[in-house]
Structure 1
Amino acid sequence: MGYTRLDENMQQLPQEQGLHQMKSYSDSRANFESIPPGYGDNFQQYTGYDPINTQSYEAPTGPPPGSPEKGRPRGGQQYQGQLPSAKIWAMNKLRSFILAFDIVFHSSPLMFIALALIAARIDGKEVSQYGEHLQQVLLLSPTIFPVIFAALMGRCFKYLGLFLAERGTTLGRLEQLVGSTSLFSALERQISLRGFSVVGYILMILWLLSPLGGQSALRLMGEETNSVLSNGTVQYLNPDTVMETAMGAASDINSARSVFAPIFLASLLSSSKYKDTSMDLWGNVKLPRFSTIENSTSDEWKTVQESNSTNITYASLIGIPVAQLDTIGASNFSVKARQWDVVCDKNEMQGGKQANFGTMDTSTWKVAYTPVNSTCKSWPCSISFKSMANNDAEDEDYFNYTVASCKLSYDMYETKVGCKGRSCTPTAMRKLDLHTGVNYTQDSDAFFRSTPSLNIMSTLPRVDNLGVGSVAFRGSTNAEKWMADPTNFVGLKTYVQLYELSPDVLSNRLTILWNSFFQSTYAMNTLGGNLDQTFNNITQSADSQLFNGTASAVSTPMPSVWRTNWKWFTALLVSSIILQIAAYMALFFKYYTCVPDIIGYASSMTLLNPYVPTPTGGTTLHGLERAHMLQDMRVMIGDVCANEPIGAVAFAKADEGRVARLNRKRFYV
């Protein structure tokens, strides 16, 4: 084909010399039905060339220039004389640099393959700074992978299209490959071409690998904490040690008062912090009040809701001593213990004569069996609770008192305990037969109803004012103030009105007070939290062993390790390998194909275009090279037959008179 250029004075030529008559005109479009008669017969196939006003260029003499850019004009200038020629893909410094860059860039998927293999290699190894750095790199993958994927996969389809175009292919196949730059564009080509081909489906599947690869890198690895399960033994206070309580005899009370009184008052004064916790201030395990969870389920084991621990009512401010706990692992075991329970059904204010409080010289509150001076034959036992509410009246017979009628019981319970290190929480509880154990017999139970319970009734109300004269005029005791308000009870002389409490609230607080005091009266040397965890020198009682051993399931944590998610590893590896194959295929097709890369560039529309008065040579140029040469030229898509009844749409240089803007009301061929 000869090179041509348009005459500079083409605008002044008659239009009959610039157009051929069309041999046929399609009448299948409805828009052309209104064309005036005669025009359809006078137009011939439009070729875009003017055979009359064109000139042929001869090849230049001498050797071809060494560089394709040498001597080429810019900005739409015309050659005066002969046009240069060049070889296809003549290598120069610029193209050598581009080749080196392409090799490096098209090898970038190897980075993701390496990351996947490194993650697989550290699977099961301890968490280290090396793995943390790898994890930080993987966090960037969801951003980097889709960008690199789009660039390389799009290049592969583009250069594959050029490769097929060099050897001959269908326009539809070429459009599918070159236009497939994303999942949406691949789907768009399938719909627009109205032909759902296998190639189109493959293209869409390949584009789905982009988000899959990015997300798989994000989920590739994580930390895992393992543990080793083993069986152990935990030592807890033997429930039969209650037989050694100081409440068993008056002499024992007098000799042990200096020990149990400070323990009890210390637990009372610290209750604002430890009342709702599962362990006391010495690290002993506290047990729930069974009556508060008894109706939680119909099963034998009543579940303690750990997630709602603030609503758990613990039976005592002093817990059960436990030894030989694993310091770092988790352990589960069960303990057996006895506890008191007080349930009141009536609480009211009464005057002095009606209350029948008795002498006020020794205490401001009293607990006694009812009727007075009676004994309890079996649990529960009926008791009365009385407390001074004021002493403002001139006659003591008109003092006001809190009077409540209650039931006192004593039972045996087994509690499941779960610990993390030495921090323990009760998880479930059940009721056992009271006589469970070795030393607590029927006679022991009868002894408890007659002696320890009575001694508690007489000792507890006077634990902090023993020997004080005129106690009735010194205000309520700390125990009474605590029952009135456990969060704010330490203060000056005052009287509390316990009759304002509901029977349920009074029952809870009196139960806690009773159990706390009783637990301070036996095995006192074990309550301070200084147990020998090797359990070699715990002081032993003459009548019973102080501690029982119970089986414990111990879960010892191991150092955290890295774990590779093998499903996401496979997804990342497959996506990266396919991307790497596509990248090297693109590299091969780009440099093996002879045809210049002119598909998809705006500058390619100027190639051999008679409406763009530029050199028609340079057919070996790639699209970007041609764009560089013509970047200053103004172009326009418009009507190149503006003065004809039927217009023609073409890409042309934006010169006045050469091309006009399109009109919606006008017909075009």
Structure 2
Amino acid sequence: MASVQSRDSPPSPLTPTQQLRSDPPEGRDDISVVELDDRTVPVAPASTPLLWHSASITDPELPKQETYQQSVPHGWPMQPRQLRRDWRSLVVLLFLDVLFALISLAFLMYGFMVLGHRGQSVEEHQWVASALLNVVALGPTIFPIVFAAVVGRTLKTILVWLLERGEKLGTLDLLAGSNTVASTIWSLYVLRSFGFVGLALVAAWALSPVGGQASLRVVSLGDATIPEIVPLRYMSANNSYSNYVSGDLGAVRPSLFGMFNAALLGPERTKASPADPWNNVKVPMLEELSTNKDSSNQDWIDIPDDHVTYASLIGLPIADLPNHAETGLTMESFYWKVDCTNLTEALQPFRAALVNGAATNTSRGWLG
């Protein structure tokens, strides 16, 4: 026999093979028992409420009698109320929220620093350039982790908030299954929910790999053209050398010979370069570059990188050239273009001078 006790509750429907027995409580003569077929049901007057204190169900198939009772723990609240949290969990959650907020703020400042120092010189902002390059090395690793933590916690908060307000089950399932880009797409496929919420979740999670790669590629070093006007000085070949030579020309002749010999005996690579061994600028011969041999041509002529004929092995010195930049200037210079005709051998004048005993002083030199 199995006995199920219930208090203050109506009886459950019975099968024809079951019998219900009910005894009226003591002192209650206003309750009578009525038999219907094989069931015995107590019936009370219309003016008296029907109360059930105990009931037993007899089933021959059950081997023994079992009694089920529901007990309420002591101190269990009878009204709904908010669950209390442990202060330790509150401190941990607050610490994580502040940490993720600071890291997110650091990435935001990183973007503004890159935008503010765009096109700036690395030499003038060495500390900023070093900091940005360090973030570039760590950004692709840190950004996806922080992004997943922040977005995941945000979606969980939104899920709880919508659950409290009775949101649709499909939206709640979609938010609960949105942890990564792949899981969001899979949830959309399973739930067949291709709406605004699903597309917004896919777009939000797609920012994780995009942001990681953006933090890597947003900074790059390169050469930039920054125009700047600087004063330069160069020796004009159109003026006399008297202002630069003191005393007799013979005093500086050994220096000139030494410079000329050094340029003459230099390597072929230096002779073919646009600068001499002292980094002076050589002047190319325009007649060898221009298709128009007329010297009155005023057009600009492009100079190739090789096979250029220069007017001299020694160039014009230019002072105050910056070492960290390319300099462009316009300067004036001139050179002699010698057009020699064929000489015929005429020794008669020299023989006549020797016969007469006269001495003739001659000098030889290089034309360049």
CA contact (8 A) 1:325 1:331 kept: no
Q: Does 1:287 align with 2:269?
A: no
Aligned counterpart, 2:198: 200
**1:335 corresponds to:** 332
**C-alpha distance in structure 1 between counterparts of 2:277 and 2:156, whole Å:** 75
8 Å Cα contact 2:234/2:316 also seen in 1: no
In the alignment, what sits opposite 1:303? 302
Matched, 1:100 2:91: yes
Distance 1:263 1:128 in 2: 42
Where 2:334 maps in the other structure, the secondary structure is strand
**Per the alignment, in what secondary structure is the counterpart of residue 192 of structure 2?**
coil
Larger gyration radius, structure 1 or structure 2: 2
Aligned to 2:105: 113
1:91 aligns with 2:85: yes
Residue 372 in 1 paired to residue 363 in 2?
Answer: no
The equivalences for 1:417-436 within 5 A come to: none
Change (3 A) 1:229 1:56: same
CA distance in 1, matches of 2:321, 2:212: 47
- Go from structure 1 to structure 2 and tell me whether the alpha carbon gap of 1:128 and 1:112 turns closer, same or farther (over 3 Å shift): farther
Summarize deviations over 1:496-518 as a string: whole Å, max 9, x none.
Answer: xxxxxxxxxxxxxxxxxxxxx43
- Which structure shows the higher strand fraction? 1
1:151-195 per-position Cα deviation (integer Å, ceiling 9, x unaligned):
221233234334433443333212211111223333333344334
In structure 1, the residue matched to 2:179 is 181
In structure 2, C-alpha distance between the alignment counterparts of 1:341 and 1:212, rounded to whole Å: 68
**1:566-585 correspondence to structure 2 within 5 Å:** none
Letter of the 2:303 counterpart: V
Specify the alignment match of 2:272 in structure 1: 276
How far, CA to CA, are the matches of 1:144 and 1:210 in structure 2?
Answer: 10
Which residue of structure 1 lines up, in the alignment, with residue 262 of structure 2? 266
1:604-627 deviation per Cα after TM superposition (whole angstroms, max 9, x unaligned) = xxxxxxxxxxxxxxxxxxxxxxxx
Q: 1:271 to 1:341 in 2, by over 3 A?
A: farther
Question: Paired residue for 2:147?
Answer: 149
Identity of aligned residues (%): 26
SS in 2 for 1:237: coil
User: Structure 1 residues 57 and 215, CA, compared in 2 at 3 Å: closer, same or farther?
Assistant: farther
The answer on 1:518 being equivalent to 2:356 is: no
1:236–1:335 CA contact under 8 A, matched in 2: no
* Cα separation, partners in 2 of 1:218 and 1:313, compared to 1, 3 Å: same
Does residue 1:229 correspond to 2:228, yes or no? yes
Aligned-pair CA distance for 1:120? 4.1
Whether the 8 Å CA contact 2:232–2:319 is kept in 1: the answer is no
How far does the alpha carbon of each residue in 1:74-109 deviate from its partner, in whole angstroms, 9 at most, with x for none?
A: xxxxxxxxxxxxx984534xxx43332222223313
Structure 2 residue identity aligned to 1:301? W
Query: Pairwise mapping of residues 419-458 of structure 1 onto structure 2 (< 5 A)?
Result: none
In the TM superposition, residue 144 of structure 1 has moved relative to its aligned partner by 0.9
Q: 175-184 or 313-322: which moved more? A: 313-322
CA distance in 2, matches of 1:341, 1:186: 84
CA deviations on 1:230-289 (whole Å, 9 max, x unpaired) are 3646333324659xxxxxxxxx99999756544332212223452233221233211234
Residue in structure 2 matching 1:459, options 336, 355, 364: 364
Between the two structures, name the one with larger relative contact order (CA 8 Å, sep ≥ 6). Answer: 1
Q: Distance in 1 between matches of 2:94 and 2:158?
A: 17
Secondary structure class of the residue paired with 2:332: strand
Residues 553-599 of structure 1 deviation map (CA, whole Å, 9 limit, x = unaligned):
xxxxxxxxxxxxxxxxxxxxxxxxxxxxxxxxxxxxxxxxxxxxxxx
- How do 1:526-545 and structure 2 match up within 5 A? none
Give the Å deviation of 1:331.
4.6
Tell me how many residue pairs correspond in the alignment. Answer: 268
* Superposition deviation, residue 313 in structure 1: 4.4
**CA shift at 1:341, angstroms?**
7.0
User: After the TM superposition, which residues 37-76 of structure 1 pair with which residues of structure 2 at under 5 Å, given as runs?
Assistant: 56=68, 58-59=70-71, 62=74
Structure 1's 211 and 254: CA in aligned 2 closer, same or farther, altered over 3 A?
Answer: closer
Where structure 1 has 5 or more consecutive residues not aligned to the other structure, the ranges are 1-51, 65-86, 243-251, 343-367, 375-454, 461-516, 520-669
- Cα deviation, residue 222, structure 1: 6.8
* C-alpha distance 333-234 of structure 1, shift in aligned 2 (>3 A): farther
Deviations 1:191-212 (A, max 9, x none): 4433421111221222233234
Conserved 8 A contact 1:234-1:333: no
Distance in 2 of aligned mates of 1:57 and 1:130: 73
In structure 1, the residue matched to 2:208 is: 210
Kept in 2: contact 1:183–1:204 (CA 8 A):
yes
Between the aligned partners of 1:314 and 1:265, the Cα distance in structure 2 is 17
CA-to-aligned-CA distance 1:462-499 (integer Å, 9 cap, x gap): xxxxxxxxxxxxxxxxxxxxxxxxxxxxxxxxxxxxxx
Please tell me whether the aligned partners of residues 235 and 324 of structure 1 are also in contact (alpha carbons under 8 angstroms).
no
Structure-1 separation of matches of 2:165 and 2:320: 83
Matched to 1:320, the amino acid is L
Structure 2: 5+ residue stretches without partners: 1-61, 242-247, 347-361
Between the aligned partners of 2:73 and 2:267, the Cα distance in structure 1 is 109
- Tell me which amino acid in the other structure corresponds to 1:111: I
Q: Aligned partners of 2:320 and 2:128: how far apart in 1?
A: 38
TM-score of the two chains, using structure 2 as the length reference: 0.56
Distance 1:177 1:138, change over 3 A: same
Provide closer, same or farther for how the CA distance between residues 336 and 328 of structure 1 changes in structure 2, counting only shifts above 3 A. same
In structure 2, do the counterparts of structure 1 residues 228 and 139 end up closer, same or farther at CA, with 3 Å as the change threshold? same
| Change in CA separation of 1:55 and 1:100 when aligned onto 2, cut-off 3 Å | farther
Q: For residue 101 of structure 1, what is the amino acid of its counterpart?
A: V
User: Aligned with 1:172: secondary structure?
Assistant: helix
